[in-house]
Structure 1
């Protein structure tokens, strides 16, 4: 964490000395620190030292960084990177061909400091107190952190030089074909939901029978059909509408704008939703790192599942069970989406390059071939307007290289209910078809007119997306995602708040009547610094009790430590503490 010159005496001081960029990076790497909005940097420091937050940050470390964090726990009074290097000794790496250098250790320590898992100056860093119980759960019962550790893991991720290679141009073509098919299937699914909404059970889950019907429509297994529904919902293209006593899945108001985009842009929306927002397919980090494992797409490196698991196990060693369970399905879905082809990553996949994919996709068409068997054949992807018009008056019967639409009295009646007059249907088909409208289809449409079918449009559906009743899909909630702009705004607000009282942190001890703004913040700072803290609390009868203690932990709503006067351990409920300040010598 970049800071000004000088050594920070507390984590709060280190945060105040850090530049804005370092604070933004901290919030992006540990978004739990930003919600709910913090009141000051002391609030950030307080949250950053809780066991839950520390465990979440540790989960983001790679194998070598995690090992350095475990070694740092053996230096509660402070350490320098050289001290960690000294613990490695002979045979310092489990991988003889990848031994840790001083630069590797310094980079790992910098990462720990960037995540606020260690604090202090460059020459004397200390691990936050909660790091020990997170990484060494039994240390308190076994006499502390072990002083002798085994060899460190490799400081760099595994490489796969012997992996087979595929021609990158061929990889792109195969992956683009999968991307094209995926977009078409989602488009078919959404058109189907527009005219025949998928009904939900009372618990809000799509019934198995409905899933099987969607699978038959898309010509995919039921599990893959479920993934299509999940990705369409994650992209904000599907929502929930109430119809009488039950709810159904229908396209959101974002569906038509999505249809108007190019095929590549449609794919990018779906691929990003799968990667970042589809929790059912696995956490975002697993999917992102899985694609990174393949390296430079120009190399065409084709990796088996086990190689990707090995890569992920180094990147996130604390998620071994999740990696074993989700890696295969994540790679299969990436292949279905067109991110992978022939076992290698496509060149356009890492950054969802729309222009790169566009060159491999066929152009859209607005024409169909009408046939005497009451079908229309679209030889390629239809333009959005043509697809909407045909979808209103016909059902998709089959898909593949060409899409076949089937006309029937039921589908034409459905179009009439949406406002399509028979003359308008005939005019539209004449304009769209390369061949004359077949006579059987003309008779079927004229029968609709003779039946005097009402042609009033259906009322607009109100769609509830992500649990909120509305016409259009909602914007991304700040509670689920923190981007750089939001993190920057939070840091700017904190700087403004800190301006008035930033100097208070550096003052010598306060008199007992001068209280910290938040007793919990003060207590957690005392735990980190090991300094004595004066507290005022209420006993069972409401009487005030003052004491000086050395705080050991603040966890589960309780302050634990040793009282100075009696040298006895004490447990004080935090809810009863009315004030606290650190007894710090004046300088």
Structure 2
């Protein structure tokens, strides 16, 4: 029969041990030397707390039942005792057994049904009052123990309690069983305080200072209506929320998704036109974020969200960090993303949001030092952010399609699914922010999860569960088409390849433009809204500068417009193209030449150009001491249409080029709950870890049986370093359980080897804490500095 967790783990089949490691991957970071070390790590405070954080409310209530029913002498309980205690609360035994099974899978409890052990670290990370019950009366006070031992006397005392005193008892019986009272009032014989009445009748026991505690037996008696564990919650709370029409929710979400894609593109274009500098401390300054928000017509929180998501998707990057001030601008992958369909572009943004470890909601808030948290800084990194988003969307996905719960409904369900996580204020705020961000990005519509978002979540989960070792060469069958992509494509309007040209020179796009049409419109017209553009003399000149001629522009409008091309547009193109290139700018300081002598004379006499210091070099040539770029800009500002030319006299055609940052990868293709502490454990890797643990454990046990000494002396035939350390850890664990003294050999900070006779108090987080009874001092030893450990009766190391 297994007595310790290490013995229990050794007795497990390889499949069950691998399942435990898969559920608690932090136990093998790094892989321990043997199973004894694995058991020590499994009972550490941090690992136990991480496991309990993922448990639902009912499983934690069953865990409290295990703690309550433990025998004080053997520190064990039984499944029958737990079923009996929870059965008084009216809970089905099947659900209790399922909860016990989950606790067994995590090694929180272990052993047979008749002798159930609790992992050592549970009491350290849980409330000292399981199920809100206080300590037994015999641990608090002999008088209280005598009272509860006499059932008739206890009932008479409770029935005689004044209403105010009974109210105090009921409140403490509901938990926690600790209250505060004024010591002076308790010591005042003339006081009519209800707490003093209870203390003098031994219904409450002073525990030092101003605190009083309700004995466990009295709490159990007062809970006779709700059960000894109080009200149990075997099922999550029901969500009574309105149900939207699925098609309406999908249409609303698709519209928001299209708006998110458009705003992300506008944000990237704004950064391409004017890259945002990065602060010396990292991130984007408040002024830059405010400027970008105004440029695309969004609030600052929404702009921060899109900025973080676009950066996580690999659409934005940093450039210039080595040669000058670093700036944020579109990355090389942005151009490829831009030519995709709306559904493809949204899917990339949505996956990046699901998987990124950044919390945009923190941007603009202040840290503990009252500093503003900037966007794109390391200060907004939160490794638990993907899990929070997945949890809130998981609640929506588990509801019937079209259900639109309120934030309070979602919080109540989450509080049942992960009460330890929801109990933290920061985590609760993170869930609320995730819900708001999901609505902004189009995951939800009218408060309900959209159908394409359901497909996307399923695909991300499937990718997370996929075994990368199944196809190491990457030549397996092609992946099936994305159902999320198909569902969203069916909801979004089809891209259009035509426009409607109005008589006021506005160009209306009756839908999302296809990539080719979008590129042409960006060149020949200025955007006034997502679907309305305007043709201006500047936009026509911009097209002519990029290589178009008047005939090309006429043909473009004739080909793309479903309405007759207005005569005013034809005249505008002809007028600008007729004047375009009449003047040419070159580099000589700079020079200006043209075939029209009268036009040159007009320029020379133009008072608006006096600051250029133009003078005639020849009948058809003017010269200026300023650079060609300044001369070109001044002439265009004055209403002329010059074009630049190179040293050979050929016209220089220019198409605006947007700067790009180096290509950077997007978010990973699978969901990661905690990138720092959750490694990717495939079946093959799990099998290898189990085999490594078995080999290490066999070597350690063989070394223990060998007639060798653990003393590390030069020239001695002792164990290898790793085996000696493993044996020392095993000796210390046994001494900790037996509360026995051991000789500990260790290397101090100066490299000298010493030994000390101590009694271990605790071991965890990389340190041994032990008491030296001779000096009555508590010492702390780093585990990696311990070279040997032997029981007291053995010679010291």
SS in 1 for 2:359: helix
342, 349, 353: which one pairs with 1:270?
Answer: 349
The yes-or-no answer on 1:53 pairing with 2:47 is yes
**Greater C-alpha radius of gyration:** 2
Checking the alignment, whether the CA contact within 8 Å between 1:189 and 1:214 is kept in structure 2 is yes
SS in 1 for 2:326: strand
Structure 1 49/308 Cα, relative in aligned 2: closer, same or farther at 3 Å?
same
Distance 1:35 1:393 in 2: 58
Distance 1:168 1:253 in 2: 38
Distance 2:537 2:278 in 1: 27
Checking the alignment, whether the CA contact within 8 Å between 2:313 and 2:666 is kept in structure 1 is no
Checking the alignment, whether the CA contact within 8 Å between 1:157 and 1:315 is kept in structure 2 is yes
Distance 1:458 1:40 in 2: 64
Structure 1 582/335 Cα, relative in aligned 2: closer, same or farther at 3 Å?
farther
Alignment root-mean-square deviation, CA: 4.4
Which residue matches 1:378? 509
SS in 2 for 1:366: coil
SS in 2 for 1:205: coil
Distance 1:201 1:415 in 2: 39
Give the TM-score normalised by structure 1: 0.78
Structure 1 414/438 Cα, relative in aligned 2: closer, same or farther at 3 Å?
closer
Which residue matches 1:471? 663
Distance 1:582 1:432 in 2: 91
Which residue matches 1:325? 429
Which residue matches 1:291? 393
Distance apart, 1:490 and its partner CA: 3.4
Of stretches 125-134 and 300-309 in structure 1, the one that deviates more from structure 2 is 125-134
Distance 2:735 2:314 in 1: 45
Structure 1 215/462 Cα, relative in aligned 2: closer, same or farther at 3 Å?
closer
297, 312, 323: which one pairs with 2:414?
Answer: 312
The yes-or-no answer on 1:421 pairing with 2:547 is yes
Higher relative contact order (CA 8 A, sep 6+): 1
Which residue matches 2:763? 554
487, 504, 518: which one pairs with 1:356?
Answer: 487
Which residue matches 1:452? 643
CA displacement 1:164-193 (0-9 Å, x = unmatched): 222222222222222222222222222333
Structure 1 332/543 Cα, relative in aligned 2: closer, same or farther at 3 Å?
closer
Which residue matches 2:94? 103
What aligned pairs does 1:141-540 form with structure 2 within 5 A after superposition?
Answer: 150-151=229-230, 153-160=232-239, 162-242=240-320, 245-281=324-360, 283-294=385-396, 298-318=400-420, 319-320=422-423, 321-352=425-456, 353-369=484-500, 376-388=507-519, 390-391=521-522, 396-399=527-530, 402-404=531-533, 409=538, 420-423=546-549, 426=553, 432=560, 434=562, 438-441=570-573, 444=576, 451-453=642-644, 454-455=652-653, 463=661, 470-473=662-665, 476=668, 480=675, 486-498=681-693, 500-504=695-699, 509-510=704-705, 512-513=709-710, 514=719, 515-516=723-724, 518=726, 522=730, 526=734, 535-538=744-747
Of stretches 222-231 and 51-60 in structure 1, the one that deviates more from structure 2 is 51-60
Distance 2:692 2:430 in 1: 43
Distance 2:64 2:345 in 1: 45
Distance 2:281 2:572 in 1: 45
Checking the alignment, whether the CA contact within 8 Å between 2:762 and 2:769 is kept in structure 1 is yes
Which residue matches 1:3? none
Which residue matches 1:96? none
Which residue matches 2:12? 17
Checking the alignment, whether the CA contact within 8 Å between 2:301 and 2:360 is kept in structure 1 is no
Distance 1:108 1:446 in 2: 83
Distance apart, 1:277 and its partner CA: 1.5
Structure 1 21/546 Cα, relative in aligned 2: closer, same or farther at 3 Å?
same
Distance 2:318 2:732 in 1: 45
Count of matched residue positions in the alignment of Structure 1 and Structure 2: 555
Which residue matches 1:77? 75
Structure 1 231/472 Cα, relative in aligned 2: closer, same or farther at 3 Å?
closer
Distance 1:568 1:135 in 2: 30
Of stretches 202-211 and 13-22 in structure 1, the one that deviates more from structure 2 is 13-22
SS in 2 for 1:553: strand
Distance apart, 1:134 and its partner CA: 0.8
Of stretches 184-193 and 295-304 in structure 1, the one that deviates more from structure 2 is 295-304
Distance 1:524 1:108 in 2: 33
Q: Which runs of 5+ in 1 are unaligned?
A: 1-5, 93-98, 464-469
Checking the alignment, whether the CA contact within 8 Å between 1:8 and 1:14 is kept in structure 2 is no
Distance apart, 1:349 and its partner CA: 1.9
Distance 1:190 1:274 in 2: 17
SS in 2 for 1:359: helix
Distance apart, 1:508 and its partner CA: 9.3
Distance apart, 1:53 and its partner CA: 2.5
Which residue matches 1:573? 781
Of stretches 202-211 and 517-526 in structure 1, the one that deviates more from structure 2 is 517-526
Structure 1 444/203 Cα, relative in aligned 2: closer, same or farther at 3 Å?
farther
Checking the alignment, whether the CA contact within 8 Å between 2:5 and 2:119 is kept in structure 1 is no
Structure 1 38/270 Cα, relative in aligned 2: closer, same or farther at 3 Å?
farther
SS in 1 for 2:762: strand
Of stretches 278-287 and 305-314 in structure 1, the one that deviates more from structure 2 is 278-287
